[in-house]
Amino acid sequence: MCGVSAELMTLRSPLGVLTVSADAGVLLGIRFSSTDFGRRPAAPALQSLANRLKAYFDGDLRALDTISVDPEGTRFQREVWKTLHRIPAGQTWSYAELARAVGRPDAVRAVGAANGANPIPIVIPCHRVIGADGRLVGYGGGLERKRWLLTHEGVKLPAYC
């Protein structure tokens, strides 16, 4: 985002430390991080985002639904990321299903690449996309985090996952 002066904060979560960036209450990014900036006072808008993330991790699976996001990406990536919001907590889609929902059924690899480039994991639920055979594949935060998120949301994973 050219010219945007993002605010940053770190948040401890069951998945480790998250670095959250936002501008005027609009979420720009979440990164899995090894750096914890410690407990500094956060701007009210950032604190509100942190509270919603905490509520999600505490079990309120709808706490993230109304967070405003503005991910930086191509028009195609942004369309894929927008479509991800249609996958409810507790459900999964295959990459082929996601490609069909985007209106590009023959672009499964491109959809997978866009899914993998998601700058706002958890809130833009790229973790809800799995392989056609039900296996957990491709998650920038690692498959253990993907497994944790899906289990947290009540997805019954096959034993081989």
Q: Which residues are catalytic?
A: 126
What gap in Å lies between CA 88 and CA 67, rounded to an integer?
Answer: 15
Q: Kindly tell me the number of DSSP H helices and DSSP E strands found in the chain.
A: 5, 5
Q: C-alpha dihedral over 8, 75, 105, 128, to 10 degrees?
A: 10
Taking Cα atoms as reference points, which of 50, 7, 52 lies closest to residue 28? 7
In angstroms, rounded to a whole number, what is the distance separating the alpha carbons of residues 90 and 23?
29
Residue type, 18: L
